[in-house]
Amino acid sequence: MASKLDDRKKQILKVVTDDYIASGEPVGSRTIARRYDLGLSPATIRNEMADLEESGFLEQPHTSAGRVPSERGYRYYVDALMARKSLSEKELEVIYGELDQYHEEIESLIHQTSKILVQMTQYPGLVLSPQLQTAIFKHIQLVKLSKSTILVVIVTDTGFVENKMIELQQEISSDELDRLSVLLNQRLRDLSVRDLQLNHFMDLNSELVFHDQLFNEAIKVLIKSLSDRNKNGERVYIEGTAKILEQQEFLDLQKLKPLMGVLEEENRLYKLLYKDVIAKSKVKIGHENEDQVIQDCSVVTASYEIAGRAVGVIGVLGPTRMDYAKVLPIVEGTASVLSELLSQISKRGKL
């Protein structure tokens, strides 16, 4: 299996892939000779295609059908062959305009982002919300709701507001609560949630001048509630699942069902995406995906940032026969616009 391809083979592989992505039909030597002006006869192309199949870049659905790119073929196409371009300023403006309407609230902003991905790519769109783990405490406020119920409001630098009601055994006075708020604010500010280990709190606790049993309890409950939070803070938003019905590869209900199942399981979608927070942008083709069920799909992702720190991922999911050349710039462009908007929000709230 030689991985070195001469120029003509590259050209043919590119043309086959382009054509297959556009048409969905296996492409034959004759079609290529007619449709693309390569100056080659069908017979020559046939020979080259046989070679490409030999080296694993193309496949034949059955003996007398045309050729189709293999996963390896797609990989090579994405890495080396396809036209790579970025969105134009104007296109970015449009996305910006669409999203800017929702800058009031981070959750709708993210929601809207997935909708835009769907609209522009015609594939289901995914957004992994900013990870609480990497977020940095900015403000914590304790509000007394009733004798023993207090509301904890945490604001992070990523603009997220988290609420949690917690219950104490004893009553705590508003004054005490305020003092606790102040103390926690001083101590936690600029810590990331990741840093927030039990021992940080322990430190805090031991430093308390007026530590009494009540405070101990309050802090213990708080720790517990926050570490609960960590587990489930990140959400995956998905929109446009209905779009996969448009894909001819999923006309078959037997294939469709498990896929639809996955798209409903936030957990699995999370696993699909969370590793890509660190990757700038990534295309995962077929078996490169860990989840068995989507091994005839591809996932195109790009991470987005807040103030220069990668915090989340957006992406789309489609069949391996995905229009990578169209989708990749859209995903990347949308991620960059989202980054900009989130950074603005973050800055807005800076002290």
Site for its own copies in 89-128 (CB under 8 A): 104-105, 108
| Ramachandran category for residue 190: left, alpha or beta (phi over 0 → left; psi -120 to 50 → alpha) | left
Question: Which residue in this structure is represented by tokens 């989340």?
Answer: 312
Phi, psi at 108, each rounded to 5°: -70, -30
Instruction: Name residue 282's beta-bridge partners.
Output: 301
Distance CA 286, CA 70 (A): 10
Min dist. Cβ of residue 72 to DNA (A): 17
Instruction: Name residue 312's beta-bridge partners.
Output: 304
- Under rule CB under 7 A, how many of the chain's residues touch DNA? 25
Q: Please pick, from the candidates 47, 174, 227, 248, the single residue that binds DNA as defined by CB under 7 A.
A: 47
Q: Is 64 in the site for DNA (CB under 7 A)?
A: yes
Distance CA 295, CA 74 (A): 14
Q: Is 287 in the site for its own copies (CB under 8 A)?
A: no
Q: Is 66 in the site for DNA (CB under 7 A)?
A: yes
Question: CB under 5 to 8 A by kind: which of its own copies, DNA, none does 257 bind?
Answer: its own copies
Phi, psi at 323, each rounded to 5°: -80, 75
Phi, psi at 163, each rounded to 5°: -115, 150
Distance CA 299, CA 287 (A): 11
Distance CA 161, CA 124 (A): 27
Which is nearer to its own copies, 49 or 184 (by Cβ)? 184
Q: Is 231 in the site for its own copies (CB under 8 A)?
A: no
The HSE-up count of residue 158 (CA atoms within 13 Å, CB side) is 28
Min dist. Cβ of residue 156 to its own copies (A): 11
Q: Is 348 in the site for its own copies (CB under 8 A)?
A: yes
Nearest-10 crossing angle of helices 7-23, 42-54: 90
Question: CB under 5 to 8 A by kind: which of its own copies, DNA, none does 26 bind?
Answer: DNA
Question: CB under 5 to 8 A by kind: which of DNA, its own copies, none does 62 bind?
Answer: DNA
Question: CB under 5 to 8 A by kind: which of DNA, its own copies, none does 169 bind?
Answer: none
Reading the block at residue 48, the tokens are: 């080259």
Question: CB under 5 to 8 A by kind: which of its own copies, DNA, none does 161 bind?
Answer: its own copies
For DNA, what does the binding mask look like between residues 2 and 41, x meaning CB under 7 A?
-----------------------xxxxxxx-------xxx
Question: CB under 5 to 8 A by kind: which of its own copies, DNA, none does 29 bind?
Answer: DNA
Q: Please pick, from the candidates 69, 233, 240, 315, the single residue that binds its own copies as defined by CB under 8 A.
A: 240
Binding range to DNA, per CB under 7 A, among 63-71, 171-179, 240-248, 288-296: 63-71
Site for its own copies in 290-329 (CB under 8 A): none
Q: Please pick, from the candidates 2, 6, 35, 50, the single residue that binds DNA as defined by CB under 7 A.
A: 50
Nearest-10 crossing angle of helices 253-264, 266-273: 80
Q: Is 138 in the site for its own copies (CB under 8 A)?
A: yes
Which is nearer to DNA, 60 or 281 (by Cβ)? 60
Among 243, 250, 232, 237, which residue's Cα sits nearest to residue 294?
A: 250
Q: Is 153 in the site for its own copies (CB under 8 A)?
A: yes
Phi, psi at 119, each rounded to 5°: -60, -40
Nearest-10 crossing angle of helices 213-232, 174-188: 50
Q: How far apart are the first and last CA of the chain?
A: 60
Min dist. Cβ of residue 239 to its own copies (A): 7
Q: What is the 3-state secondary structure (H, E, C) of 147-174?
A: CCEEEEEEEECCCCEEEEEEECCCCCCH
In eight-state DSSP terms, residue 329 is: H
Q: Which residues bind DNA (CB under 7 A)?
A: 25-31, 39-44, 46-47, 49-50, 53, 60, 62-67
Q: Which residues of the chain form contacts with its own copies (CB under 8 A)?
A: 104-105, 108, 138-139, 141, 143, 145-147, 149, 151, 153, 155, 159, 161, 163-165, 167, 225, 228, 232, 239-242, 245-246, 251, 253, 256-257, 260-261, 263-264, 348-351
